Amino acid sequence: MAANPENVSTVEAWAELLACPACHEAVRAEGERVVCAACGRAYPVVDGIPVLIVERAELTPVIEGQHDQRGEA
Ligand SMILES: [Zn+2]
């Protein structure tokens, strides 16, 4: 996939290209964060670039139902 810099200049565009490192599901932009709807993790966006690091993720209350807690501190 050829990434046009203009297409990845917004967090929304980034989110379409990225996957959650914890569960490998798609993520979506939500304000200043990138949120995984599958596991509920919210990743920070630093200087316009999503930081998809599990340790940096914030767990959102969205998480109910099936989820596994692997790798949680
Ligand atoms: Zn996830």
Query: Cα of 2 to ligand 1 centre, how many Å?
Result: 25
Query: Cα of 27 to ligand 1 centre, how many Å?
Result: 7
pTM for this model (two decimals)? 0.70
pLDDT digits (tens, 9 = 90+) for 11-32: 888 899 999 999 999 999 998 8
Q: Within its chain, how far is the Cα of 65 from the centroid?
A: 19
- Please provide the distance, in angstroms rounded to a whole number, between the alpha carbons at the two ends of the chain: 35
CA distance 34 to 51: 8
pLDDT digits (tens, 9 = 90+) for 42-58: 999 998 889 999 999 99
Domains and CATH numbers, the chain: 11-59 (2.20.25)
CA distance 19 to 17: 7
Query: Cα of 54 to ligand 1 centre, how many Å?
Result: 9
Query: Cα of 20 to ligand 1 centre, how many Å?
Result: 5
